[in-house]
Structure 1
């Protein structure tokens, strides 16, 4: 008795043939007008509708007028073309320049398979220059697993990441995630410098005072990590730059140093300002702070 089996043909050949159909006006039954440039892109309702529920709904809504083009003015034509490539062939060409737009479009159109492919590409191609954009996109689009992987990469390569200056144009939420990370393999002096430079960049671009730009980010600075000499220098610098570090944070730190100098116990458990990071350079008073936890 013979047994049945499922055998696959050439995926590459199939993709090539399907792509020929995608670029051909022949047999197409839907026309898209895409982006500000109003680029015309042709397609096939049966293929696109089966792959994308959102576009299928648009097709159903316009079924009585199939000759009327579907206008998608808020989509980049190149990104939309990439998305169609994936719908037709289950393959897509991605670059670091196109990955973020493609991820956002995949999420917007509910294409989970494409989202997974783009996320995989991003994590496989992380470098110190690309990681800032990748984390920003992960946070903005709420892709938790991608956010975790980007943060892990940044933490492990914190010295090179901060040196690259790629973080300067990060959105606030993403930058807060970096500055809040216990696993950063960099000393707190570099963290303070990064916060200042990020804020200065934003202040120059927007005309907003530095103090307001960094108001939420600077709260992630582990102020008690600094010894007395560093604390004095940083406080003077902060005052010269409009008190971008709130005086209240310095009050916490000075009170902490005064208490340990007098041999008093200081309750710091759970306080982030008194928690060591992975890359913190050891100082004598760190024995009184919350240790870094793996």
Structure 2
């Protein structure tokens, strides 16, 4: 007698049928209200529950009687949530500009396979416009490899990163991480201007304490430092003692006048005459 075996049909029609059910109101028994735009998204309880433990816990052990009320998910953008549904329904996903939000959702929902697909994609497509946004995700979600890639990208393309809107939206912990790097390919004067751009939208204490203290003011030219001191009198942002320490470095013509990294050159530090006293090693 022949042993029964598993016989498979065509995969393509099955996948196409499941894809047609994504956000399809007919036969759906779960309704979400997603993102700040409060977009309505329809789904199917049994599929979400069997594919994802997060949704199984969120939706309960079985569908409730009658017409269920909407499940509100306000923190995930609608386009990213639809990408998550695409993965749950078809085990594949089309990633593009919302890939970081999809990555964030994958981590939040415990979807390890989707998380790995997003990581692989984000690492391949990082550019100056996306890298600052992507850097936020690894710090908040503990994604070390992506964090390292983002930092290396900003170090190599610092000028481009500074000009993006994403840089101005970086959190204080991320900015601290960047400003402590000796590998930034940007002159200190540009970093000072960028830090000043952060101030109008945030409390001065928030910027000055954790971020501004990492600026290496001794790397500024004398004229730049003088102009900075004058602006700081009108709009206090930088601690006075930090400016005094920078003048001290210039006055003594020695890079080791201040201990630590305050006089250490970055990779992008410009080398005019007044900076030749900065003889500490470039890392």
- TM-score computed with the length of structure 2 as normaliser: 0.79
**Alignment partner for residue 253 of structure 1, among 246, 263, 268?**
246
1:274-293 correspondence to structure 2 within 5 Å: 274-283=263-272, 285-293=275-283
Contact 2:34 2:41 in 1 (8 A): no
1:184-203 correspondence to structure 2 within 5 Å: 184-200=184-200, 202=201
Contact 2:253 2:277 in 1 (8 A): no
1:80 and 1:278 mapped to 2: Cα distance? Answer: 40
What SS class does the counterpart of residue 69 from structure 1 fall into?
A: coil
Structure 1 unaligned segments of length 5 or more: list them. Answer: 1-5
1:189-268 correspondence to structure 2 within 5 Å: 189-200=189-200, 202=201, 208=203, 210=204, 213-242=207-236, 244-260=237-253, 266=257, 268=259
Matched, 1:39 2:40: yes
What SS class does the counterpart of residue 273 from structure 1 fall into?
A: coil
| Alignment size in residue pairs | 273
1:1-294 correspondence to structure 2 within 5 Å: 14-22=14-22, 30-35=29-34, 37=38, 39=40, 41-45=42-46, 47-59=47-59, 61-63=60-62, 65=64, 69=68, 71-75=70-74, 76-96=77-97, 98-200=98-200, 202=201, 208=203, 210=204, 213-242=207-236, 244-260=237-253, 266=257, 268=259, 271-283=260-272, 285-293=275-283
- TM-score computed with the length of structure 1 as normaliser: 0.77
Higher mean C-alpha displacement, 66-75 vs 166-175: 66-75
Contact 1:33 1:69 in 2 (8 A): no
Q: How large is the Cα RMSD of the aligned pairs?
A: 3.3
Deviations 1:46-101 (A, max 9, x none): x4333211222345x443846563743124444333211101212122331x2333
Task: Give the C-alpha shift of residue 185 in structure 1.
Answer: 0.6
2:131 and 2:171 mapped to 1: Cα distance? Answer: 13
Deviations 1:132-182 (A, max 9, x none): 222233333332222221121111111222234542233333333333322
Structure 2 unaligned segments of length 5 or more: list them. Answer: 1-5
Contact 1:128 1:166 in 2 (8 A): no
